[in-house]
Amino acid sequence: MVKLQNVILVSENMERSFAFYNKALGLELKFRDGDKWIQFDADGSSFALAAPEEVSNHKQGSFPVFEVSDLDKVKENLELAGADVSITRNMGTHGKTATIIDPDGNVFQLFMRTF
């Protein structure tokens, strides 16, 4: 199963971005991993800020995150189809991610819950 789990913006200044989206837009903090990742609740949808090192060479803009039930299998299928898996990360009890670059250079992530 694959579903749209999140939309992410890359931020060069996590504190400034957190203040902007939290205070100016009123988004409620859902989860934070130091200066690497900030996730907000947007009325039941997820919106996140990520430091550049969390998303390969993707420096600005936004990209989707797809939630999957079997991260390794989906990564393997994507690699066979010509995608580059540039970063994988185990976030402990929260989940695992993989940053993917498609054949056209577009970035997206896969997320698998581990709880």
User: What is the rounded distance in angstroms from the CA atom of residue 37 to the CA atom of residue 35?
Assistant: 6
Q: Which of 96, 45, 106 is nearest to 68 (CA)?
A: 96
pTM score, two decimals? 0.65
**pLDDT recorded at residue 26:** 82
User: What is the rounded distance in angstroms from the CA atom of residue 11 to the CA atom of residue 62?
Assistant: 10
- In the chain, the percentage of residues whose pLDDT exceeds 90 is 20
- Reading the chain (115 residues) residue by residue, the pLDDT tens digits are 678 888 888 888 899 889 988 887 788 999 999 999 999 998 888 889 888 888 766 566 778 888 889 999 988 888 888 888 878 888 888 899 999 887 667 788 889 998 7
